[in-house]
Structure 1
Amino acid sequence: MLKKYLFLLFLFLASGNLFSQQVLERSKPVLAGSARAISTEALSKKDLLPPSGEFKIYNPKNRSSNIVVPGKGYPKNLDAAWQKEVGQIPNKKPILVFDAATSGSTPTDPTGAVGPNHYVNAWNSAFAIYDKEGNLLSPPADLQTIGGTFVGEDLGDPIVFYDGFADRFVITQFSDSPNSLLVAITKGPDPVNDGWYTYRFDTGTFPDYPKFYVWGDGYYVTTNQDPDEIRAPGDPTDNLNEVVYVLERDKILLGEEAQHLGFPLPGIRVNGFYSPAGFFAVGKEQPPKGNAPIMYYQDDSWLGVNEDHLKIWLINVDWKDPLNSTIEESQNLGPSDGVTPFHSVFDGGSFHNLSQPGNAPDVDALQGAIMYPAAYRQFPDHNSVVFNFVVDIDPSVVEHAGIRWYELRQDASGGPWSVYQEGTYAPDGSDRWCGSIAMDKNGNIGMGFTVLNDSPENPIFPSLRYTGRYADDPLGMMTLQEETIAKGVSANPSNRYGDYSHITVDPTDEETFWFIGEYFAQGSRLNKVGVFRIAPEYVNDVGVVSLVSPKNGTLGSQEQITVTIRNFGSAPQSNFPVTYSVDEGTSVTETFNGTIQPTEQAEFTFSARADLSEVGTNYSFSAGTQLSTDENPENDFLELVIRNLPPNDVGITDIISPETGENLGMEQVVVIVENFGGEPQNNIPVAYRLDEGNLIEETINQQLAVGGQLSHTFQTPVDLSDPGKYEIFATTMLVEDSNEKNDSVVETVANLNCIPRGSDCSFGDGIYNFYLNEIVNENIYCTDGYYDFTGLSTPLDRSQRTFKVGVSSRFSDNRFSLWIDFNDNGFFDPSELLISSQVLELSNVVYTFEFTIPADAPLGEHLMRVRAGDTSYSGSLNDPCSVMEFGNTMDYTVVIKSDIEASALEDGKLLITSADQNIFDIRLTTSYQQFLWVTVHDMLGQKLVENRIDKSYNGYEYMLDMSYAAPGVYLVRVGTRKEGKVKRIIVR
């Protein structure tokens, strides 16, 4: 095996310092080598090694200097490409569903590919082979069973793919002994009986999260490089290391010695963990050699990215002279090219994002990855590629995961790529992510994904579903209804999920989708395969799919009935009966005289009208087709309810501004107004009131359609400058409104001042003396009611659990409370309240109270808040951020230790200095040597940044850019998952 690093060539092309942030447009390979094949025989059942059943966490995700800039990037609110409703076209039930892996691996990394006669499935770290009815041909076996270079190797992260142009299956995994890509390819089309060639391609650095793609001149592999070796601290580029590998496909197919090359991605900006994509070619036409695309998205929330865009590189390999091969930036597709701004960051970059039902951990949204595969297909007049990645559809609120998907096209000659269509699929309040998307030979798109919802009213454990669209449907929409492949019945016990799903298209008909993903049942990690088809299954198949008119509204006695008819079949249809009925009354049957082509639809208006004139009545409506030769009656009819609405009914459904926050002042009041009635409305009177104040009345001079919504911003702002809670009442005041119950809403908003200055302690209320272990703070003079004593700290031995605190006040009948911020999110949660409203009955008497910390309380530094006061007047003692009328609040630092487990960061000193424009230099000096994490929370507890930092000769250093963040107080923590140091910063 030959391996050469080619840094001199890279240096020549870089024309600058390697660690600069200069954009590099073109590069030669930085690694070259070759590998010889080892031939193995057919799989023998007696030689199969059973998969390991032990619980194992595979390759824990790490990220280097995360470069999310809090507050930077667009959109600030709703994703403009958001599809808010599930498609209405009836979808087909799965053709086949069968169980694949049951594993203790975390995550399972489900992958599978279909061929003409087999389905090959792999997971961490095993594989199995099925026939196309879901029957096992080769039972689950450890990856080592394949033999050759796989002997002794089952590190995992496998990818299975079928090379349809060669009729071969390929199974891959990575290795760290040495760092390499292991590739096993069948000698023929039969993965059970034809035997395998296996290769080990040395990669130099660890090839994390490898994804394989078929192109005309090679197998292309993208990776997430070892974060320790990516870049210099604070440099968002990844210009040094091989991220993309190319394997010499022609030689691999023959079992001959094959070359491989490694390329960087010149000009890329990254966010720690990242996974670019190659284009995976499928279909009958093999792509030409050369100009192999590599793609990754660039988020303007990251340092060094000015606008959201898709970046495409082209690789041209010269296998005769490998050092003559190149990679170069080709295109940036941004907003001016049809890319709608997206927000791909969750929780500042952490891997704990999406809430599950119950008390289960938040699961990884898989941010930073273009999901596998990016499927490429050639058509007579164009080439298409479809792909997806996860986005947060509204970064201004709690994370809501949706799937941003794309179809890019280029002309058949291979010109530049353009955005043909895009959408963000998040049709309700559930999270959707871990998608895999592909296109059939007709241009229809199928997409499998995971859905999750932590709502008590609609709990959904991680479950597998699919949707899709026909080629001629409106662009940017998944028009098919969702169908379920696997319904999860329990939560994921870990934050790790996936780490991917996999969809492939059956090469036999090029129309049937095979999807595999991960779900959970009765404590087990399971993989399920779902097979579905979008293309016509029958020759003759038509049905009514929607009611165009009437809609809910003020209806009359002569309503025109218009429906949409879809041809689900493969033959054109003409001159067939169409029927409707109301409330199961007499059916009206007429004839559709036009022609509807396969997979297209048309509108039909009945000549007979319907009487729907009774106000407030719900009418049961049924419409359908009666094609005599119809082969699928299940989709013939549409049934729904039409309501005759009273004409005048409007109301305010939501107050979207102001929102609870810090340092509020004169704030705009923005409301959502909805027309519940049956007629459009103009000149709508609206009003709002703050607490018990006077109504502020205005008129909306804008037409509001039936069923429509609009946002209205009141011209008169509201004053929320004093810390505390406020009640805002907003209402419509439409004359002759038919339902006053839906006119108004009430919203509680708080001006959180978690440095709650403003309490009056001049009469002696509040804490005068405070004692806790090594903290002795006496004769505390009165100021503005808040004291920052975080410089005073004391250790708390976790093995001791229970501690005593001494408190006195200079005024009688005060009360005392205490919190410790164990999760270091800057927000004192109710569960962190350890002493609640204990009475300080007499003045100048030291009262002693006990509190108990959890047995698993995180080691290291934490903020402790204490407060006391006379709350018989106003203010809430147990609201840690409110301003009491009489009393005071103070913060200290506690260091939780253990006699058994000494704090590794105990000797550390955390220093944070600020420069101009709210740039903060974070530095921790300590004898500790392993990597640490830096996190930033706002005072609402929202995580804005999570970064991995490694020790340099100056200690642990990180530059925090808060220049885009809102003014206020933030909490910075540096440490391990179990212990750390915390400090406050103020953004001005």
Structure 2
Amino acid sequence: MQKGNCPRVDRARLHLVLALALAAACGGQIQSDGVSDAKVQRAPVISHAEQYDQSGPLTLLPVPERRDTNVEHEVKRIPRPPAGAQLRDPVHQTSAPLLLVPTINNSFDGVGNGFSGPNGTFSVNAAPPDTNGDVGPRDYVQTVNTDFAIFNKDPSRGTVGTVRYGPVPINTLWSGFGGGCQTNNDGDPVVLYDPIADRWVISQFSVTTTPYLQCVAVSTTNDPTGSWNRYAFSYGNTAFPDYPKMGVWPDAYYITFNIFNNGSTYAGAKLCAYDRASMINGAPATQQCFPNTSTTYGGLLPADLDGARLPPSGSPNYIVGQGSLTTTLAYWKFHVDWTTPSNSSLTGPTEITVPSYVIACNNPTDNTCIPQSGTNQQLDALSDRLMFRLAYRNLGDHEALVTNHSVSTSGNTGPSGIRWYELRPDASHNLTVFQQGTYAPDSTYRWMGSIAMDQAGNIGLGFSASSSSIHPQIKFTGRLAGDVAGTMTQGEGSIIAGGGSQTTNLNRWGDYSMMAVDPSDDCTLWYTQEYIPANGTFNWKTRIANFKLSNCPPAPTNDFSISASPSSLTVNQGASGTSTISTTITSGSAQSVTLSTSGCPSGASCTFSPNPIQSGGSSTLTVGAGTATPGTYTITVTGTGTSATHSTTVTLTVPPNDFSISANPTSLTLNQNSTGTSAISTAVTSGNPQTVNLTVSGCPGGASCTVSPTSITSGNGSTLTINSGTAAGGTYTVTVTGAGTSNTHSTTVALTVNGPPPPNDFSISANPNSLTVNQGASGNSTISTTVTSGNPQSITLSTNGCPTGASCNFGTNPIQSGGSSTLTVGAGTAAPGTYTITVTGTGVSATHSTTVSLTVPANDFSISASPTSVNVTAGNSGTSTISTVLTSGNAQSITLSASGMPAGTTATFATNPINSGGSSLLTLATSATTPAGTYTITVTGAGASATHTTAVTLGVTAPSSGGMTNGGFETGNFTGWTTVGTAAVVSGGAHSGTYSARIGGTSPTNGDSSISQTFTVPTGQTLLSFWYQVHCPDTVTYDWATATLQDNTTNTTTTILARTCTNSGSWVSTSAGVTAGHSYTLTLISHDDNYPGDPTYTLYDAVALSSPPPNPIVNPGFETGNLTGWTTAGTTAVVSGGAHSGTYSARLGGTSPTSGDSSIKQTFTAPSGSSKLSFWYQVHCPDTVT
């Protein structure tokens, strides 16, 4: 039933709240807020049923009065996306075979105008009828707006279709319940048979008053005329829960609503789950609801189980609706956890692409376009949603869901047809379209369908059909599992041809219909729908019919399994325990199962509640141990059904009476003539309590041991009291024995009796127990005492062995044993040596001593040189730092002296004398006459109390007679060179030989570093050359290598290596001319800007003086006055005056303007070792290079 836009009410007698809600809907527009992204929601809103109870038998409930007004319930629209231009439905089935139409087995009227039954006659009071009905093992139950009836389905008890009960208002089910469910009969009903529990479920909403309620009733047996468990779930005062649709699932009854705020503004779909297990048992129940979907979605259908085979364990309930586009369906996966609701989840929406469709009538605000014969009044297609049900079936090798909705077959104005789908879940519970089609074989309008699948996978589809030439009819079609996908192949049958059309401005039709599957054979399809018997309004009738598609095998034999949980019980005599006896349908449908036991022991009782049960249900086995003899018994529980018998067992253990005994504490320590207690506890370990008599043994002589009370009941306690008296000191085991009526147990208490108290005594110790103290200084040791027995006493401290010239004093004296004092030893003028100081503590009752070893060290020092070797050229000097370290005692003055110097050499100290711990710089100065050689210089440090020596090796080399010294660094050091900054002679990677000089370092902060040598060029040598390898990761702006050559004779300096920064790792040579007999200073430099990231250094090697080879070029200076040796072309001449050197130069070209190209050339062979060709030139060009 729909509530909503601008209602037309005849003889309205609606409650004021509903009237206001309907009026508010007229002024509102439904807005879509777009497509929701698929997501997982958790933490649903949990609410308890507003109230619940169990009714008496339905046949005994008072029947409330019907309202006598005719109300047209206007549809509350849900938003649909606009349809694009479409000429034809892409999956349109345009024909149907006629010869395969299944035979209708039964066809009879359901509740409708003039329908009569045991409880009276029904008169239509609202439209549309909301027709639906479901089939059980023996009954068919139908609900409409706003009555229901129960029909016989079992031929063994009478004609199929006979009315067993009804018609009565649906709120008869809530007679005596109270609240809106009792007083309001507002409709939108759904009836479902629960094949798992063999129960019936009926619901309708209560919206005339607030709070808005969903009223749900679950039958207590498979007989719908019996009692019902009744519930009312609330949705508050503002969220109008329109168009509720329910589905049966193993873990819940799932339900969906279209929510309208204050009855007018669409607020999205609500998805909820009811606690099915609790509702079946009549227990308090809750619902779990997730927040509304976006307003893009509405008219959602929860999956409803058909057949005896349940969904795979853990499967969510699937909820499906039209998608956000006219090319999609949307679905959600709802998993509920009643034990831990925070684990419940709702996943979706997920959209599935389907062939495009245009909803029937294609009008978002008015889906009225279905024509009828004999009237211009058109009917509402209600095409903005899927049609009830979303039928689920598990076929073993796959699962399937079928559903349908009404679409236009050709553009926006063509006849309507039924778009149907078969969806299949995959292993991850994601849905895909297996097949789909649009059934519209001719120009007749077909709409308001319902679809279901039998156990063979065949599909039946029922619907309304109408056109301008026929009145609305009820028709059906179908397909077999193996037929061509996407088609209804079994022809089209008519259930009833309507006798008239609906007239007088009443366009509401159906709202929904229902196709159900008979659980008895899982093949027969039952369909119910409305029709009009004669032209008019509010005169609708309904029809119920069944048919069976071919190729559906007989239903499997009804069978079940039985189990017990727990399968073992331990029950004391006089007590009871329970085990749940559960049955599961393994094939076929439910049957009545009578439970019985064998093996229940004598004196015990074994009862069931309830008994009998329906297979798929459970019962509680209560075992009372009574006076049964202790022991273990096997109780066999047998379930006897109409077609099968099965058994399970419960192991019953009746334990004997027994107890344990313990003591706390389990040990006592007492002085003589003192008292202690221990709590004696007993516990029942099996069976029932018994009387326990307590006795004590093992009490030592001179002591007393008693328990009180001496007789207790197991599970209670007593107190053991021990007085040590005059018992001798020692350890004893006191045993407490508990003698019960059926057994005896003991526990023990360890008793320690202390003898007379010990005398007062103490120990003494020193920390540290050795001191090293220089003369004139002092040191401390802590003298500690500890009480070893008895009580503290006063202790006087004294020392013996304190050396002459020293002092030994205590900070506190006397002290209490357990305390401490500080012994301060002043070395004073005591002679160096080691002394034993004895510290004695004299108490009232005892004297003890400890010792402190005192060492007064002699004054001493050590001496060393750095470096230990100095190398100089005769006539030069070198230095070494002489350092002393205080090794013991106090500092003293040390006089330094040197011996062993060669002739012409002097040794001087920068500071002399020094104090031990200080240092002085030794300078060894040689003269030009000092002989070359290696000498050991002995440096002596003479102190007041000690004298020590160290050695410095002096290496003297003879001065050079000219030329470069150590130019290849093959001495392994810088002999002959002066260093500044960071410099080292390194092996490996040299240009020649083993060593090269590295100027700068591999660390990034070297600054400026250089080596230099002053030399005189020997006669005949005119060329200085060297090789270099630059390691410069920066640029020449910041880091570089360079070299300068200073002519000391002419006092001129030349840069012979320009600033260079490269990191190629290659050796490069350079050279410069020198003049024999001149003194030069060569400086090889590396500059680093100290930036942390790019250390720069340069390797230098093979620094040498040489004579240049003969010039291979003939007449290089043209000093012959001609071009001898040269080949000329063009205008050339040798001219005098203005030469760079000498008298002549060569002129190429001429002073006239028409010289053209001119040149001179000479072919020569470069001598070995040459690396540079040079010449000087002077250009006279008044034009441009172009």
Normalised by the shorter chain, which TM-score bucket?
0.3 to 0.5
- Which protein is bigger by CA-based radius of gyration? 2
More strand by share: 2
TM-score normalized with structure 1 length: 0.47
TM-score by length of 2: 0.40
Which structure has the higher relative contact order (CA within 8 Å, separation 6+)? 1
